[in-house]
Each structure stands twice: as C-alpha cells, then as structure tokens.
Amino acid sequence: MHYLKNWLVICFLLFVLLPVTYSQSAYPDPHYKPLKSADKLQDRNFYFFTLLEEIPAVKRLMAEDSLLATCRQRIAGAVVNNLLFPDSIISRVNGAWKELLQRRPQEMSRLTQEMRSSGFFVLYAAQPDEALLIHAWQDAANGVNYIINAYTKGLGMRYPLIDSAAFYVNDPGYKAAVRRLAQQVEDKDKAAALFFKPRLDMALGLLALNRRDEAVRYEPLEATNAAAYKQVKKTAWEKYPYSALVILGASPGGKEPVSETGKSRCRTGAELFRKGLAPFIIVSGGHVRPAGTPYSEAVEMRKYLVNELKIPATAVMIDPYARHTTTNLRNAIRVAWRGGVPVNKKMLCVSDAMHLFYVNSSVFTQRCLTELGYMPAAAIRQADLYFLSFLPDLRSLQADARDQLDP
C-alpha cells in the first residue's frame, strides 16, 4: 500500500509539472510539424500570425478580447490612408499579453508551447511567456511595416539591390496598383475578427504584386530534401569526423545556371565527400543575381554535383533560399536540424580562400550580430585553404520577418 501511495504521488507530480516544464523549455522540437494557414507566404514570414489564426481557442480569444477589439476599431477602415501598424497600436497590444495570460492560461499555454516547440522564436524561448509574446508580436508587426515601407516607398530595405520591388515605386501606374490593392484588402477584411488581418494581407499582397514569392518556391523543404533525409536515418555517424559539408553558392555573372566559382566549390566538396569526411553535402544559395534570375544557386549546384560529379542524390541536401553568407550558414543549420542531422557534431564549410578568410573574420561576426542578432557558427577553425570547420548554433532556427524572401 505504501508503494502504491508513492507511485500515485509520483504520477500526480509528473502530470502537474511536466506541462509546466515543457512550456518553459527553451529547446525546439526536431519533430515539430508547423501549423498551416491558407497562405504559404504567411506561414513562412509570419508564423506568429498563423498560430493566432490556426489555433481555434486562441483565435476566439483574440476576437473576443476587449483591448484587442479596441485596437481593431481604432485601425479599422484605415488601410487605404494608413497602411502601417501605428506605434501606438503596437504598444497597446504589448500590454494585452499579460492580461490574456492571467485570464486565459490554458489557451495561452497552447500558443506558447507551439511557439517554443517550433524553433521559430528560439531567441526568446527561454524568457517568460509575456516577454516571448511581446517579442514575437513586435517582430511580426515590424515585419509587416518593413514590407509595406519597402514595396510602397522603397524605404528601409536592408538589401535593395536584390530584394527591391519589381516596379519603380514612384511610377503612377504602380502607385495606382497599390491603391487598388489597399482598397481590395480594406473591403475584404472590413469585418475581420482579428485586428492584425488587414495589414498582414496588405503586406502579403504587396509581395504577390511584385512576384516576390522566393520564400516559398521550394516548400515544403522536407519534400525537396526527402531522399537525403531518408538516408540520414541509416547513417552511422561515428564513422565520419564531420556531419556535413556546406558548400556556399556563388552567383553566375551571366545567363549560365552555375558559375565557374560555384563549380569549383562543388569540385572541392565532392573531393572531400569521396575522402569520407562527411556523409552529406548541403549546397546553399537562392535566387540572387542577376536580378530576377530563374536559377537558384543551390538547385543548380546540386544538379552539377549529381549529374556531372556523380555524387549520389541521396547525399545532397539543398538550401535554395540564402542570399548572403550570413544566411548560407544559418540556413544550412536549419536544413540539417530539420532532417535529423546531429547538430552537436562539427560541419565543414567549403568555399574559395578569400571567401573563407571573410567567414573567419571579425567583420563577418559583426555582420551576423548586426543582421541576425547572433552568430550562427561557433568554434570556427580554418582546416584548410578551401574549407573550415564550425559547430552549428541552434539560434539559427529563429525566423526573421525582416528578411521577406528568406525569413
């Protein structure tokens, strides 16, 4: 009887404490399956808003809350004349999260669990729930404003040479198209229950208007990399000194799909692969240059590796989105993590000598800290003239709504 009582006490404590422990965990779930809305671009750029829409109890809570209803009323019907989330509304919504957490803990617990499990909010996951929600809301609202400013005024864009609007933003015809879009959004979302919906739809509409769908062209990436991900499960990791070879992309100078620099980096990576340094190659590079190119560096480099260099297709993963060295490393870590590649094992970064000198410099570290807020690679060591080793940092899973073509 004594043992039965002890067993019941233990079960009760586990039942009570495990959900709390889970909700406060700062570590993402590698098996997490993201929720999906009707819009892939929304899911990629604004997963916080997708969660608010797609968790039924949370959606009802958002629609019924009096403070959020006041925010909705204050900005309702103002899309045409004021496209942005006003600072006053961003601040007022900041104050709503604490009250919601206190008043409706069960619904809000589901939301914060999804956020922490996803990895998309990993920079804030160790913070209390209120801080987690405030940061996520501010990132999403500022991301919407970033897109609207960039594609209506040409202002504030971090990478204007490769991310800009498809049209001259001051052209009368384009301005007329933006006004029509704003009116359509206002008419469609006039009775929207969720206060953020009109401006979110405006931002997504501007991306569609400018044909900037790069962020979802290869989704779901798990399907794109399915053959290699299947091979991951069969891999004897102890046989290899490194988990993967990350080959950095290089844009072609003309109309060719793969640059000579990209081919050279692939040949180096193929040689290292054949020497048995790692069981997988991750090629990284998106639609970068020339502007409007139909070619993704990673997609074309994989073709070169498989068709010309005869690397098994099951050994090659792609990140078809990165447009900078900072995000080459970040995205390669994401690809590895989602596929089950061990991230406590070092990777090799393959490129040319000058590029790697930059990656191993304080200039690159500072750029990562400025643009990403963290350094995606730790313990960088120059292993050779054409490759260096590094340890992945899982802060790389953090989604960035200000990088609308590769969040």
Instruction: Mark whether 198 and 141 lie in a shared domain.
Output: yes
Q: Which of 190, 211, 232 is the last residue of a domain?
A: 211
The answer to whether the beta carbons of residues 148 and 202 sit under 8 Å apart is yes
User: Quick check: is 25 in a domain?
Assistant: no
Instruction: Mark whether 189 and 232 lie in a shared domain.
Output: no
pLDDT of residue 112: 98
C-alpha 392/C-alpha 375 separation (Å) is: 9
pLDDT of residue 311: 98
Share the mean pLDDT of the chain. Answer: 90
Per the structure, the complete domain to which residue 384 belongs is given by 223-397
Instruction: Mark whether 240 and 133 lie in a shared domain.
Output: no
pLDDT of residue 3: 45
pLDDT of residue 161: 80
pLDDT of residue 4: 45
Asked if the model's pLDDT at residue 18 lies above 60, the reply is no
pLDDT of residue 255: 79
Q: Would you state the structure tokens that stand for residue 182, as one six-digit string?
A: 């704003």
User: Quick check: is 13 in a domain?
Assistant: no
The answer to whether the beta carbons of residues 198 and 204 sit under 8 Å apart is no
How many CB atoms are closer than 10 A to CB 361?
12
Provide the domain count of the chain.
Answer: 2
Q: Which of 160, 190, 211 is the last residue of a domain?
A: 211
The answer to whether the beta carbons of residues 303 and 263 sit under 8 Å apart is no
pLDDT of residue 79: 65
Instruction: Mark whether 206 and 232 lie in a shared domain.
Output: no
User: Quick check: is 44 in a domain?
Assistant: yes
Q: What is the DSSP letter of 243?
A: S
Chain segment 107-122, per-residue pLDDT in tens: 999 999 999 999 999 9
pLDDT tier for residue 77 given thresholds of 50, 70 and 90: low
pLDDT of residue 11: 42
Asked if the model's pLDDT at residue 22 lies above 60, the reply is no
User: Quick check: is 56 in a domain?
Assistant: yes
pLDDT tier for residue 294 given thresholds of 50, 70 and 90: confident
Instruction: Mark whether 78 and 127 lie in a shared domain.
Output: yes
Instruction: Mark whether 185 and 163 lie in a shared domain.
Output: yes
User: Quick check: is 233 in a domain?
Assistant: yes
Asked if the model's pLDDT at residue 292 lies above 60, the reply is yes
Instruction: Mark whether 245 and 299 lie in a shared domain.
Output: yes
CATH number of the domain to which 385 belongs: 3.40.50
The answer to whether the beta carbons of residues 324 and 285 sit under 8 Å apart is no
Instruction: Mark whether 207 and 236 lie in a shared domain.
Output: no
Instruction: Mark whether 279 and 191 lie in a shared domain.
Output: no
Q: Which of 161, 176, 211 is the last residue of a domain?
A: 211
Instruction: Mark whether 305 and 342 lie in a shared domain.
Output: yes
User: Quick check: is 407 in a domain?
Assistant: no
pLDDT tier for residue 302 given thresholds of 50, 70 and 90: very high
> Which residues lie below 8 Å from residue 402, measured CB to CB, with a gap of 6+?
142, 143, 146, 158
pLDDT tier for residue 20 given thresholds of 50, 70 and 90: very low
pLDDT of residue 80: 60
Instruction: Mark whether 67 and 119 lie in a shared domain.
Output: yes
First to last CA, the chain: 57
pLDDT of residue 373: 96
For residues 72-98, average pLDDT: 83
User: Quick check: is 21 in a domain?
Assistant: no
The answer to whether the beta carbons of residues 176 and 184 sit under 8 Å apart is no
pLDDT of residue 25: 46
Instruction: Mark whether 97 and 197 lie in a shared domain.
Output: yes
User: Quick check: is 385 in a domain?
Assistant: yes
The percent of residues above 90 in pLDDT, for the chain, comes to 79
Q: Would you state the structure tokens that stand for residue 252, as one six-digit string?
A: 């072609």
Sheet of 377-384, strands arranged across? 316-319, 281-284, 245-248, 347-350, 387-392, 377-384
Asked if the model's pLDDT at residue 24 lies above 50, the reply is no
For residues 188-214, average pLDDT: 92
Chain segment 138-173, per-residue pLDDT in tens: 999 999 999 999 999 998 888 888 888 889 999 999
pLDDT of residue 21: 36
